[in-house]
Amino acid sequence: MEAVAALTVAVLVACGVYLALRGRTFPVVLGLSLLSYAVNLFLFLTGRLVTGAPPLAGGSAPTADPLPQALVLTAIVIGFGMTAFVVILSLRARGELGNDHVDGKGEKT
């Protein structure tokens, strides 16, 4: 279970970094989204993987840590807002610079 989860994070990060290094804005935005998915999953895993346990401390039974879930929620909201912003900014750059290259220096389309 841990191995699968860790591998998923790794694949998402690898794809995200690869796409974020591309020259056009659309792949870059996709790469940033993949990275933020990877980060959300990673944050969720920091509370350790526990199944069927209540998120309450006290008592001797194993418990699930509720804090990472609250952190992930915050990270998702922030990540969502930032992605929306970067999409709009990319569209504006496409309009103002005449192409969708991140440096604005590709051939005019």
Partner 1 sequence: MSHWLVLPILLPLTAGMLNLLLAKRAPGVQRAVSLCATAGLLPLAIRLLALAAGGEYSVYQLGNWPAPFGIVLVLDRLSALLLLLTALVALLALLYALNGDDRRGHDFHILFQLQLLGINGAFLTGDLFNLFVFFEILLIASYSLALHGSGPERTRAGLHYVVLNLLGSSLFLIAVGTLYAITGTLNMADLAVKIAAAAPEQATLLRVSALLLLVVFGLKAALLPLHLWLPAVYGSATAPVAALFAIMTKVGIYAIVRTSTLIFPAAGPNPVQSFTWLPALALLTLAVGAVGSLGSDRLRVLIAYLVVVSSGTLLAGIARFNVAGITAALYYLPHTTLVTAGLFLLADLIARQRGVTADQFSPAPPLAQPARLGVLFFLGAVAAAGLPPLSGFLGKLLLLQSVSPGEAFWLWTVVLAGSWTGLIALSRAGSRIFWKTEGAGAAGAPADLPRLAPVVLLLGLSVAMTLFAAPITRYAEAAASQLLQPRAYITAVLESEGSP
The residues binding partner 1 (CB under 8 A) are 20, 25, 28, 32, 35-36, 38-39, 42-43, 45-48, 65, 67-68, 71, 74-75, 78-79, 81-82, 85-86, 89-90, 92-93, 96-97, 102-104
With vertex at residue 45, the alpha carbon angle to CA 13 and CA 39, rounded to the nearest 5 degrees, is 30
Our CB check for partner 1 shows the closer of 46 and 59 to be: 46
Nearest approach in angstroms of CB 7 to partner 1 is: 16
Our CB check for partner 1 shows the closer of 103 and 107 to be: 103
Nearest approach in angstroms of CB 6 to partner 1 is: 12
Our CB check for partner 1 shows the closer of 54 and 77 to be: 77
Nearest approach in angstroms of CB 60 to partner 1 is: 18
HSE, side-chain direction, 13 A CA sphere, residue 30 = 11
